[in-house]
Amino acid sequence: MTELPSRRTFLKTGAGAMLAGGAVLNTRLARAVQVPPNHSSAPGIFQPAETNVPQAQYPRVDAGSRRVQFRIDAPSAQRVQVMVGGGGGETPRMDMVRQSDGSWTLTTPPIVEGFHYYPVYIDGFEANDPGSHTFFGEGRDMSGIEIPSPLPSDAFYQMRDVPHGQVREQWYHSSVTRDWRRIFVYTPPGYDEEGRKRYPVLYLQHGAGEDETGWSKQGRANVILDNLIASGQAKPMIIVMAYGYAKFPGAAAPDLSKFRAASPAAFLAAMRVYTAAFEDDLTRVVVPLVDRTFRTIPHRDDRAMAGLSMGGFQTFEVTLNHLDMFAYIGGFSGAPFVLGNTKFDAKAAYHGVFADPAAFAKRVRLLWLGVGTKEVEMIHRGLMAFQRDLVQAHIEHVFYQSPGTAHEWLTWRRDLNDFAPRLFRAARE
């Protein structure tokens, strides 16, 4: 087992260091969405992407060079383009070339490894690639593609021959929002066989424009935890992935389609609208539901919360207002004081929970922050400033930087891989 650093401020940059109520979905979900071990790393060999629908030959990925070949059948089109993002903001649309059979093709330059959403534009109309699975992201279903990583340190999210847990889909009616909502729950290997064993719980939140499916589909949280548990690096735990958008009955909801174009202040205001009701739903409905339905250890020292981007903001709002319920906190490319002009004030923030560093360290067993080194400038600058503020306030925390990645799923996969092994290891008082 890899020895973890002591509980102190720790700066790290590295790649290694996730039906009807109660129905079960095996972690293999859809074979095409998981990682097959047969991608060649030799350059010049293009193979169907692992995110393709069954039998689809395109898009094709050259794992050695990280280039992609796209092919779209659109014989009546005048112009076809594709745009593959890298999480660092808008990327240019790439023009495809018309072939004699009416298809359009393109071989891209190298694309950053990891998972990417991508739209196809046919005469300016945005469409999905029929050869790819779709994933809910940026507020809509989008085609997605996995670019294999050449780094051995990124093998942590590859499917391996180890015991696998399950991802279960649970519906519930919320007394807070007064509508039907859904959570996805990862149970670790052996959960059903070990009928009396109880487990700690990590509440893991998606980002803006995504939903409760994101961490098990795009993020592969279940695969990451299977591998960590099998290697003895992480304790077996339950992971709850909740729907992060909630509103009180009768309240107007912000328009998700405008998130990308929103100003930082408008985006922050939208997050606060969702978070107010989400905080109530999670603490008053979801946590009690999970403790009743699953074999949890219903104690704050065995309960953690983390989230990416908007989910990181929500994590801080929920946990720091409910330290009687949570002892472990993680922000993946998301935290308070990152957007807008709000400044961190250790004495005033969250009713003064940061005012006494020793008392904070006694209550919060882990405060963890992560950011990609290629994040959009506003987010990277904000998180770096927040981290410096925590250092100056003498607040113990771990700070992790994912090298070469931006506001994207490879950053958050690496975050989870570093965060999860640190959970539920501190001795109780």
The CATH number linked to 83 is 2.60.40.10
Q: Are residues 295 and 315 in the same domain?
A: yes
DSSP, collapsed to helix, strand or coil, labels residue 242 as strand
CA–CA gap between residue 176 and residue 187 (Å, rounded): 26
Q: Classify residue 1: in a domain, yes or no.
A: no
Give the Cβ contact number of residue 85 at 10 Å. Answer: 20
Residue-wise pLDDT tens for the chain (429 aa)? 333 433 334 444 443 333 333 333 333 233 333 334 445 555 679 999 999 999 999 999 999 999 999 999 999 999 999 999 755 455 789 999 999 999 999 999 999 899 999 999 999 999 999 999 999 998 899 999 999 988 888 999 999 999 999 999 999 999 999 999 999 999 999 999 998 999 999 999 999 889 999 999 999 999 999 999 999 999 999 999 999 999 899 887 766 555 555 566 666 677 677 778 999 999 999 999 999 999 999 999 999 999 999 999 999 999 999 999 999 999 999 877 765 556 788 888 898 999 999 999 999 999 999 999 999 888 898 899 999 999 999 999 999 999 999 999 999 999 999 999 999 986 554
Q: Are residues 185 and 331 in the same domain?
A: yes
DSSP, collapsed to helix, strand or coil, labels residue 97 as strand
Q: Classify residue 117: in a domain, yes or no.
A: yes
Amino acid (one-letter) located at 169: E
- Is 266 within 8 Å of 208 (Cβ atoms)? no
Closest CA relative to residue 186, chosen from 228, 231, 219, 216: 216
Residue ending a domain, among 147, 179, 204, is 147
- Is 123 within 8 Å of 112 (Cβ atoms)? no
Q: Classify residue 128: in a domain, yes or no.
A: yes
CA–CA gap between residue 345 and residue 41 (Å, rounded): 49
Kindly give, in sequence order, each residue whose CB lies less than 8 Å from that of residue 303, ignoring residues fewer than 6 positions away: 200, 201, 203, 287, 325, 326, 327, 328
Beta bridge partners of 172: 181
What angle, rounded to 10 degrees, do the helices at 264-281 and 310-320 form?
Answer: 50
Q: 310: domain CATH number?
A: 3.40.50.1820
Q: Are residues 14 and 66 in the same domain?
A: no
The pLDDT value given to residue 53: 97
Q: Are residues 263 and 351 in the same domain?
A: yes
Looking at the structure of the chain, the number of domains it has is 2
Q: Are residues 414 and 280 in the same domain?
A: yes
CA atoms within 13 A on the CB side of 253: 14
Q: Classify residue 335: in a domain, yes or no.
A: yes
Question: What is the per-residue DSSP string for 300-326?
Answer: GGGEEEEEETHHHHHHHHHHHT-TTT-
Strands (E), 14-139: 23-26, 46-48, 60-62, 67-73, 80-82, 94-95, 97-98, 103-107, 114-118, 120-122, 125-127, 134-137
The pLDDT value given to residue 195: 87
The pLDDT value given to residue 425: 87
Q: Classify residue 29: in a domain, yes or no.
A: no
Q: Are residues 184 and 321 in the same domain?
A: yes
CA trace torsion 34, 309, 150, 163 (10° rounding): -40
What angle, rounded to 10 degrees, do the helices at 221-230 and 409-419 form?
Answer: 30
Strand order in the sheet with 120-122: 94-95, 80-82, 120-122, 125-127
Beta bridge partners of 120: 82, 127
Q: Are residues 143 and 169 in the same domain?
A: no
In the chain the first and final C-alpha atoms are separated, in Å, by 25
Beta bridge partners of 59: none
Q: Classify residue 429: in a domain, yes or no.
A: no
Q: Are residues 192 and 240 in the same domain?
A: yes
Instruction: Quote the domain boundaries for residue 408.
Output: 10-21+155-422
Q: Are residues 356 and 313 in the same domain?
A: yes
Q: Are residues 139 and 160 in the same domain?
A: no
Q: Are residues 188 and 208 in the same domain?
A: yes
Residue ending a domain, among 114, 147, 180, is 147
Strand pairing of 114-118 and 180-187?
unpaired
- Is 75 within 8 Å of 89 (Cβ atoms)? no
Residue ending a domain, among 147, 167, 196, is 147
Q: Classify residue 202: in a domain, yes or no.
A: yes
Q: Classify residue 174: in a domain, yes or no.
A: yes
For 58, phi and psi rounded to 5 degrees? -130, 150
Q: Are residues 302 and 163 in the same domain?
A: yes
